[in-house]
Structure 1
Amino acid sequence: MRFLVTAIDGFGHINAALGFAEGLKAAGHEITFAHREKHKNLAVKRGLSFIPFDETLVDANTEENLFQWIDAAGDRFRQEPLKLCHDMINDSSEEAAAKAYFFIALNGAMDAIVSDKNNKFDAIVVDYPTPFPFLYKHSIPWFPLASMGPLILYPSGPPPFSGYSVHSDKSNWDEFRKAYQLAYAKITEAHNANIEAAGVKGVKFNPSVFVDSPQTVGFYHYPANLDYTECGSRRPNWYRVDSWIRQPDLDTEFVIPEKLRDKPGKLIYFSLGSLGSADLVVMKKIIAILAKSPHKFIVSKGPRGDALELADNMWGENYVNQIKVIQGVDLVITHGGNNTFMETLYYGKPMIVIPYFYDQYDNAQRVVDKKIGFRVNPYDIEEDYLLNCIENIFNDNEMIDRVKAISHNMRNSNSLNEAIKMIEKQTELNKNKAQ
């Protein structure tokens, strides 16, 4: 079968989509990845076909706009999630609604690809945080991926993006839900106006879910050991896949840099992801703290890494071959984005999560609730606490064993193959109906 695969323009979503695409390709299907031209190498490296977006339809300055946004709004993200919601409610700017423009542009780029009669696909696999009209315009079946943490799929659980524990006081949950809906009222209104203007009826954007309802079936990415099954039933037609981790972007093995080779201590990987690492205030603060650790660090400095100065017990580059690095370290300090979160668990590494926003807060709290690491809030980074968290992990054999058990189950799961069989079945049914 011929599958078109794509994702929102964010590395976590792109990497997750590529991992799922690799599974489809391994099952014998023909895969085309559609995205911005700069990501072509990621598809070609994996033996996938590639179709670039029409760059005249997609803002070419996304990264620079992102940096300006981080600099302007960084203080907001460095605070407790509920307070962030209240600040957004009180902000009278139209910045949030303006962000909906990006989704219009992306929808136009994908519609052009699918409408091209030279492109023929049996199905589409998408990792999108909102309904996209082009999927409803065409008769091709589509399957959504939820590469974010799965709390969005459990209506009876803590409010997504709050960072609240499943054991927390439920009287606070409704307060967060109300504040969150008000905070995202403008962008919700803008998204739904775009969907309606495209002629799609009966479909609405829900900022608390951040995925479209599956046409038939959809798939989320989380290990069985950590799933929120204690929160009751999940939204219909969503199926869990324990692991669809992508292959490394580079084939070369990771070798400990000479600068660190003879230094004492454990080897630790530190990354706040492509977005969190652009917040130079947080990055510099954490680097200064880790400089006092007796351990050594591999640092993914991020897109603004040239502005960062690393300490003597550190080596880093703006972008590192993350999967290979994770395999070779003893501990990961991460923002908790679901992609890095899953890779860290797959390779059996405990973690310290410093969440920046959205599902990162939920993953950070899940690490605490399941006793596989620690959470350090970006609005409350204390030197002694962070350094003690590192030592506590290395001294906790039971915690390390719990992570290894999760890794073992992820590696031995057949859930990705089962997901692909579901897609094959639904796609075949659609082809039969069309005949």
Structure 2
Amino acid sequence: MTQPKVIALFPEASYGAALNCVGIAQQLRSLGARPVFICHPGFRGVFAEYGFPEYPLPTLGSEGQTDWTDFINRHQDAFRQTPLEQIKSYIGPTWDAIVDTAIAAEEPLRQLLAQLKPAAIVLDNVVMFPAIANAGVPWVRIISCAETELPDAAVPPYLSGCRGEPGPDWMLFAEKYQKAVAPAHRRMNAFLAECGLKARPSGEFLESSPFLNLLLSPDAVRFEREKPLDPATHVYLNGCVRQEAPYPLPAFATHRDAALILVSFGSLGAMDVSMIKRMIGVFEDMPYRFIVNVGPWRDDYARVPDNVFLESWFPQPSVVEQASLFIHHGGNNSFCEALYYGVPSLIMPYCWDGHDNARRAQDVGVGQRIDRYEWTDAVLKTAVASLLDDAVMRQRLRDNAKLMKQSHGVAVAAKAIVDLL
């Protein structure tokens, strides 16, 4: 019998990218392929939970390499800053750390790919790993961050949170960004040259794949590009949501029939216990039910109101499907899941493409943005109530959700990957 084709998926060390890849891997498996995951040691068990073989890269967790939890702890103060201010305090240092990771991963990744002998490699990351480009098999790039990751003259600068119309703010951000990332970019280009690959243009760390590029961006938030992407190699998935087990809602002591609001700021945002406690204090006086993802910090919450339920982890898509509103950080997975189920977003961004998604949600009328820290009780209450009561927005979201479900992005992604073989 013919052995199933091995397809290696290599997501970055974030749950958004990891779980997005899980959805595609589920479909690949149903098509008869054998998906396997290459991952950071800290994500050991995440993919096995869904029944996939996983191969952690040991060098990424060794002494001297970037510990992302420690990195975020050292840069948390930057989350209170504007995107423009974060260029120096957070974006520049983050690119330095990402380049360090790529360099450290090169040799163990090359050896692992030689061992696995995949028929194709799927990369969901923001930086090139030369071992992938040099593996001699087709490789696929997934753009699971905001669409702004792919530059275009008609698209706001990546990570800027700028409005969709070009203006002086675009130019100012781009100039400061190029200057801040220049040292990391020079190191990256030198590394690429050592590995026999071409240098990247200023500010860019990863090229489009010549084989296939998959973009999560749904129709509702897509940009009109000055230079359209080549449809032969760039496929819009119109969302890409994994299959999860049903989530039975907890029994609330009060407001049992009230609207359900999900609150989740991702694995990094859950660190901000004081901010989430402040929000819970406001939720107590509101006539709704709240499910709040607090990550591994559950024990830090001594008192919890009757209309609030805290959870360390849950199958997020299954909860979003039952919610009337999703309060989140603007991560692309969370944003796409809200759109997929027709749920409005209240976005409180703090870093990376969360700023871009927050601005886009407000610009196209699928949600609102408020500052993560500079809000009053009245501002938060008003934002929640207005989103729940906006009938026009909710109809717009229902129409878009219908289209996204009909598109079945995970199946489109899996078929496009298998077709490469």
Per mean C-alpha deviation after superposition, the further-off stretch among 408-417 and 95-104 is 95-104
Contact kept, 8 Å, 1:59 with 1:102, in 2: the verdict is: no
Report the Cα distance in structure 2 between the residues aligned to 1:95 and 1:359, rounded to whole angstroms: 13
Deviation at 1:302, TM superposition (A): 1.9
Deviation at 1:36, TM superposition (A): 4.4
Contact kept, 8 Å, 1:271 with 1:335, in 2: the verdict is: yes
Superposition map of 1:14-413 within 5 A: 14-36=18-40, 39=43, 41-48=45-52, 50-55=53-58, 57-59=59-61, 65-87=67-89, 97-116=96-115, 119-156=116-153, 157-167=155-165, 170-197=167-194, 199-204=195-200, 207=203, 211-229=206-224, 231-236=225-230, 237-248=233-244, 251=245, 253-260=246-253, 262-263=255-256, 265-309=258-302, 311-312=304-305, 313-413=307-407
**One-letter identity of the residue aligned with 1:301:** V
> What's the CA shift string for 1:106-139, capped at 9, x where partnerless?
33332221122xx232111111111111012221
Contact kept, 8 Å, 2:148 with 2:158, in 1: the verdict is: yes
> What's the CA shift string for 1:29-57, capped at 9, x where partnerless?
22222224664544344443x132242x1
**One-letter identity of the residue aligned with 2:377:** E
Report the Cα distance in structure 1 between the residues aligned to 2:133 and 2:68, rounded to whole angstroms: 29
User: Which structure 2 segments of 5+ residues have no match?
Assistant: none
Report the Cα distance in structure 1 between the residues aligned to 2:280 and 2:72, rounded to whole angstroms: 19
**One-letter identity of the residue aligned with 2:71:** W
Contact kept, 8 Å, 1:241 with 1:419, in 2: the verdict is: yes
Report the Cα distance in structure 2 between the residues aligned to 1:71 and 1:421, rounded to whole angstroms: 40
> What's the CA shift string for 1:40-84, capped at 9, x where partnerless?
544344443x132242x1216899944433333222121111122
**One-letter identity of the residue aligned with 2:164:** V
**One-letter identity of the residue aligned with 1:102:** T
Change (3 A) 1:105 1:285: farther
Change (3 A) 1:360 1:142: same
How much is the aligned-residue C-alpha RMSD, in angstroms?
A: 2.7
**One-letter identity of the residue aligned with 1:226:** V
Three-state SS of the structure 2 residue aligned to 1:155 is coil
Deviation at 1:243, TM superposition (A): 2.7
Deviation at 1:343, TM superposition (A): 1.2
User: Which structure 1 segments of 5+ residues have no match?
Assistant: 428-435
Deviation at 1:348, TM superposition (A): 1.6
TM-score, length-scaled by structure 1? 0.86
Change (3 A) 1:162 1:62: farther
Corresponding pairs, count: 413
**One-letter identity of the residue aligned with 1:192:** N
Deviation at 1:17, TM superposition (A): 1.2
Deviation at 1:264, TM superposition (A): 6.0
Three-state SS of the structure 2 residue aligned to 1:297 is strand
Deviation at 1:142, TM superposition (A): 0.7
> What's the CA shift string for 1:389-431, capped at 9, x where partnerless?
110112111111111111100100155545444434433xxxx
Per mean C-alpha deviation after superposition, the further-off stretch among 254-263 and 353-362 is 254-263
Change (3 A) 1:99 1:145: closer
Three-state SS of the structure 1 residue aligned to 2:321 is helix
